[in-house]
Structure 1
Amino acid sequence: MPQLSRFALRPLALAAFLAFGVCSPMSSNAQTTPYVATDGTLLNISAQGEAKRVPDIATMSTGVVTRAPDANAAMRANAEQMAKVVAAIKAAGIADKDVQTSGINLNPTYQYRENQPPTITGYEANNTVSIVVRDIAKLGKILDTLASVGANQINGPSFDVDKKDEALDEARRKAVASAQARADMYAKTLGMKVRRIVSISESGRFAPPMPMARGMVAMKAESDTSVSPGENTLSINLDVVFELAR
């Protein structure tokens, strides 16, 4: 009888060892992955929800490129012309917080001849600022004004939605509804029911800006430059784990 008792205790000791992970190298990993107790079937659904909004802000860059025989002259000419551009930006009502210098460059220009090393023929100075236009209705006029005061580089604009929270919440609701509908379909097909949602994770958000053509503006047109902001799509991706049961 003592031998039988000793053998009967071994399964209990093994169960305690597995439950508490005593001296097990896997115990630290087990703590980072929570265990979900269930007697049903787990179903993982990936769903996306979208919300469309008309953009209300535009981001663009503008600047001045000047060339001169020496570096100092190129920089001085650039500073004078850029001051007019910055003044026009402020006159258009764009706040200081929406104007940011994005690059100042000075580079030599070269002349290349066959079988000879390149020689420096002058210097090119470039000063560029990024601006945010919060009144898109004025964007075309602003573009033309910048060209008229000496901006010979204009890139963009890219359109975006300033306050995204409401649109993203709409996308979230659509994603949850889509995941729920798909889970109900799977459950019905399998002769089961959706018992509960085990977990929800938001894997990302996507709100691509709508770029327009990039290029050089050479002169002011007779009428304001045409600008069409179109529509932006804001997306939310969800991973939802459901528990199914009979």
Structure 2
Amino acid sequence: MIRTVFIAPLLATGLLLTACNSGAPTYISTSSASQPTLDVSATGYANVAPDRAIVSAGVVQQGKTAGEAMEANAKLMTAVFAELKSVKIPKSDITTSQLSLQPQYDYRDNKTPVISGYEARNTVTVKSDDIEKIGPMLDALVRAGVNNINQVNFTVKDPKSALDTARQEAITEAREKAQNMATAAGVKLGPLMSLNESSGGQMPQPIMMRAAAMESSGFSTPISAGDQTLSVRVNMSYGIAQ
């Protein structure tokens, strides 16, 4: 997301790139009205613990005929939905994200491939705000018939507070950088003329799992959400006082 606030018209016609320790770009520019400006950028960060898990899991079944594959898949998925209901996952937090039926081909000695069977896939996306129960829930789903767990992602339901913290850090750093640059250049920093920002997040690596390994293990699957790092980058333009 990018937001821009124009505090005063800025008509730059030339740019002089100057070095800074942080590696972020800093510019001194001159407008057509001989109004010099100093442009700086900075990024602020905030760490926050995720409070929502998003699981993508499902069932893959094969059969000699399309109907056989779909019937076998439907039987297991019925058990999966029953298991989700038993652990009190609301229907509104369960979404079918993929349903497919594909022929399987037999390739032999440069001959035309022939259909040898069919594969049915049914995948659901499940949201849960109780991260502590994700591991046991995955184990229960595997016992119910899930044999394909794509990934588990963690997110923050309301990142506003963390983004506010990151934004304040970025603006403070940019302001200090501008003041230091002005002092080093022997000029006086003028008013803020424009400000824009872009925000983003750095998600932890998704947890990839093998359902077969989980099914054969007698242990509960451990899950750790870690921290998520949110960032806000600001670009600020100051006038140079005459």
Identity %: 36
Instruction: Please name the residue that 1:3 is paired with.
Output: none
Instruction: Please name the residue that 2:83 is paired with.
Output: 88
Residue type at the aligned position of 1:239: N
Alpha-carbon separation, structure 1, partners of 2:181 and 2:140: 59
Structure 2 residue 223 is the aligned partner of structure 1 residue 227: yes
Residue type at the aligned position of 2:199: R
Equivalences for residues 1-246 of structure 1 within 5 A: 34-35=9-10, 40-202=35-197, 204-218=198-212, 219=215, 221-245=217-241
- SS for the counterpart of 1:88 is helix
The structure with the largest strand share of the pair is 2
- SS for the counterpart of 2:74 is helix
Larger Rg: 1
Cα RMSD (Å): 1.8
- SS for the counterpart of 1:176 is helix
CA drift at 1:90: 2.2
CA drift at 1:213: 3.6
How many residue pairs are counted as aligned between the two chains? 213
Residue type at the aligned position of 1:46: S
**Could you tell me whether the CA contact under 8 Å between 1:159 and 1:211 is conserved in 2?**
no
The structure with the largest helix share of the pair is 1
Deviations 1:51-77 (A, max 9, x none): 001111111201001111110111111
Alpha-carbon separation, structure 2, partners of 1:35 and 1:42: 8
Unaligned residue ranges in structure 1 (runs of 5+): 1-32
CA drift at 1:41: 2.4
